[in-house]
Chain A
Amino acid sequence: MQGTVPGPVLLQVRGASLSFGGVHALRDVDFHVHEGEICAIIGPNGAGKSSLLNVINGVYAPDAGTIAYAGETRRAMRPHRAAEQGIARTFQNIALFKGMSVLDNVMAGRALKMRRGVLWQALYWGPAEREELEHRARVEKIIDFLQIEHVRRTPVGRLPYGLQKRVELARALAAEPRLLLLDEPMAGMNIEEKQDMCRFILDANDELGVTVVLIEHDMAVVMDIADRIVVLDYGRKIADGPPAEVRANREVIAAYLGVPTAADDRALKEAS
């Protein structure tokens, strides 16, 4: 929520470096998030934004650096551990289970919370059925929240792109995460869809208390909903602060728009 005092630091990444062959995706990046914050990561393409998220939830192990989360400091996060400790994630290219329905996909998000063993499930009676229905009820709340009831039985592969993104968000929220990592959640959406998505993210942050880290290219969205913005360029962090501050940062402008020459300065002066 904007304007409120930031909570304690939930996640702290120090000195993360990651390279693939000759490509340096991340160079000595320090990154932290406060509890309850909405933090946006921006930067030109190839800046290392997705890599940073991948490092946070364990898809990649960094070559150097540490990750401190939930009281533990470690070299690399393992995806299963990250999920267990309440980190949920959506992906740039939509990592939904295309062969399953929307309902099944979101229910899959509750996998960690379901305890009953295989034998009980095979019987589907008593404890197993109760557990299944209990989780179904919770999942339905999220489906309600994201307004995807009308497609709950549709196989995800048949849904339009915008709805797929919403389903992915639903699956992430189904895990009741503490930290939600969103990788370009609004890519390819029109204005209406983006507004809806913004509302969902803000509501999740507000009502469910989820800390959000999102990668986004749409500046209007970023300036609007983020409490803090982190800017990456060529794997390095070049700015970190509230939107107003970052917007005026010369290095950020240079990274996005190019370094202004004397001619540009004159033109700007004339225009103002």
Chain B
Amino acid sequence: MAFFVEVLVGGLLAGVMYSLVALGFVLIFKASGVFNFAQGAMVLAAATTYAGLVDRGWSGWAAFLAALGVMILFALATERFVLRPLVNQPQISLFMATIGLTFVLEGLSQAVWGSVVRGLDLGIPDTPLEVKGVLISKFDLVASATAGGLVVILALFFQKTRVGRALRAVADDHQAALSVGIPLERIWAVVWAAAGAVALVTGLLWGSRLGVQFALTQIALKALPVIILGGFTSIAGAIVGGLMVGASEKVAEVYLGPIIGGGIENWFPYLLALLFLLVRPDGLFGEKRIERV
């Protein structure tokens, strides 16, 4: 029993890490209606920049600020050269544009910093903590706390502030938002920069766990089932979805894995999401789409 709890807890905490990536997705979708396939690549780019600079001898904080700067620049460039020309195009076009962005980011970060795998040391000890006979990783706890903190900040931002309201309007209808006078460009730049910051934090946490490498982008893809379960527009949903995916994935791997063969975690979350979609096509917390004839 204790073993099960341990696996479960481990899964939940891993799930929080997924939520972090999902948060970036949700942010952008909520605010611009764009499904940002490049979120994973953003995580990679941010983490690589940080790790690369630290490798060159920069201090942790300086590297962090520099990486943040890069992500902000990226956000501005994306807004100017990708989002603005594609305003009011169908969502599918924007989605494919983000696939293009993925390639650009992946190629650039590897071209500039090389494809060497780097370790990341954030100074957070990975020693296990023992709570009632269950081993929990301190690192996972810190990650959860960070994610939790980010969620609270972002949720408050969207619900309470004027900018947050404007963002929700923009996500709904670009044209209408423009005609009401909402400064689309500035808002998008802000949101993508915020997503970039989230990506950086995510990249640091994931990077210190797995090392900064190309595989980080694959992990980001795991966030897709998270947002399916949680709904594309819900910040709380990203957390809940992440927990569900993390927990179910670990439990499935440990208990089903030996029967079917290892490596289930590669596709199990997707299957789960798929089954879920059949029951609730708009996700757990997502908004129901109404088609009027």
Instruction: Give me the interface of A with B, judged by CB distance under 8 Å.
Output: 54, 59, 91, 93, 95
Interface string of B258-293 (1 = CB under 8 A from A): 000000000000000000000000000000000011
- Contacting residues, chain B, for A95 (C-beta < 8 A): 293
Q: What is the interface size of chain B, counting residues whose CB is below 8 A from a CB of the partner?
A: 2
Sample 6 A-B pairs with CB under 8 A, ordered by A number.
A54-B293, A59-B293, A91-B293, A93-B292, A93-B293, A95-B293
- Min Cβ gap A157→B in Å is 13
Question: What chain A residues lie within 8 Å of B293 (beta carbons)?
Answer: 54, 59, 91, 93, 95
Q: How far is the CB of A15 from chain B (nearest CB, A)?
A: 23
Q: Which residue of B lies closest to A183 (CB)?
A: B293
Give chain A nearest CB distance to B250 CB in angstroms.
41
Closest B residue to A91 by CB, please name it: B293
- Closest beta carbon of chain A to B267's beta carbon, Å: 31
Q: Find chain A residues with CB under 8 A from B292 CB.
A: 93
Residues of B within 8 A of A91 (CB): 293
Report Cα–Cα, A54/B292, bound state, in Å: 11
- Separation of A54 and B293 alpha carbons in the complex (Å): 9
In the complex, what residue of chain A is closest to B290 when comparing beta carbons?
A: A20
CB B92 to nearest CB in A, in angstroms, measures 13
Residues of B within 8 Å of A59, CB to CB, are 293
Q: Complex Cα distance A95/B292, Å?
A: 11
What 6 A-B pairs have minimum CB-CB distances, sorted nearest first? A59-B293, A91-B293, A95-B293, A54-B293, A93-B293, A93-B292
B174 → chain A closest CB, angstroms = 19
Q: Which residues of B contact A54 (CB under 8 A)?
A: 293
B88 to chain A, nearest CB (A): 15
Question: How far is B293's CA from A91's CA once the two chains are assembled, in angstroms?
Answer: 7
Name the residue of chain B whose CB is nearest to the CB of A92. B293
> Shortest CB–CB separation between residue B86 and chain A, in angstroms?
19
**A80 CB, min distance to chain B CBs, angstroms:** 15
For residue B288, give the distance in angstroms from its CB to the closest CB of chain A.
12
A59 and B293 alpha carbons, distance in the complex (Å): 9
Bound-state CA distance A176–B202 (Å) is 61
Residue ID in chain B nearest A20 by CB atoms:
B290
A93: chain B residues at CB < 8 Å are: 292-293
Q: How far is the CB of B289 from chain A (nearest CB, A)?
A: 15
Give A93 to B293 CA distance when docked, in angstroms: 7
Distance, CA A72 to CA B292, complexed state (A): 28
Cα A91 to Cα B292 in complex, Å, equals: 11
Bound complex: CA of A183 vs CA of B45, how far in Å? 54
Shortest distance in angstroms between A205's beta carbon and chain B's nearest beta carbon? 25
CA distance A59 to B292 in the complex (A): 10
Report A263 CB to chain B, min CB distance, Å: 41
